[in-house]
Amino acid sequence: MPDEPPPPPPVSDSPKSTGLPSNIAAALACIPLIGGIVFYILEKHDSFVRFYSMQSIILGGAWLLFSIAASVIGLIFRSIPVIAGVLDFFWGIIVGVINIAFVVLWIIATVKAFTGVRWEIPYIGPMARKQVETAP
């Protein structure tokens, strides 16, 4: 068979507070921290969007905390007299790799949300699911 279009994302029957289709709202909610907070506040009924919103909030919070900690550690490394350059170089590589990992997780989550697939980021997804299930 020649190129067949992909199947449409599943449509939930629950009412939507945002007026957007679930997959679009969930993909927008994947914008770390800010998108998650906005859609978690706006969307009260769609569990798919709320899950991706909470996952985005946790991922964005972890990314923010990592950035702050990496900056503090970088300042400490730069203050060591003899080996500051070497430590700062290697720390920069480590921070770069971890930031790339955060971006890759963000892109994968956004693509999965847009295609209508519920995907849990390792370690973060179970926390988000637990928060969404216990929320009123």
Give the pLDDT score at 9.
Answer: 47
What is the rounded distance in angstroms from the CA atom of residue 81 to the CA atom of residue 97? 26
Question: Are residues 49 and 22 in contact, defined by beta-carbon separation less than 8 angstroms?
Answer: yes
Give the pLDDT score at 38.
Answer: 94
Low-confidence ranges of the chain (pLDDT < 50): 8-9
> Structure tokens of 114?
């847009």
Give the pLDDT score at 14.
Answer: 53
What is the rounded distance in angstroms from the CA atom of residue 55 to the CA atom of residue 27? 11
What is the rounded distance in angstroms from the CA atom of residue 127 to the CA atom of residue 57? 11
Chain segment 59-82, per-residue pLDDT in tens: 999 999 999 999 999 999 999 888
What is the rounded distance in angstroms from the CA atom of residue 67 to the CA atom of residue 75? 12
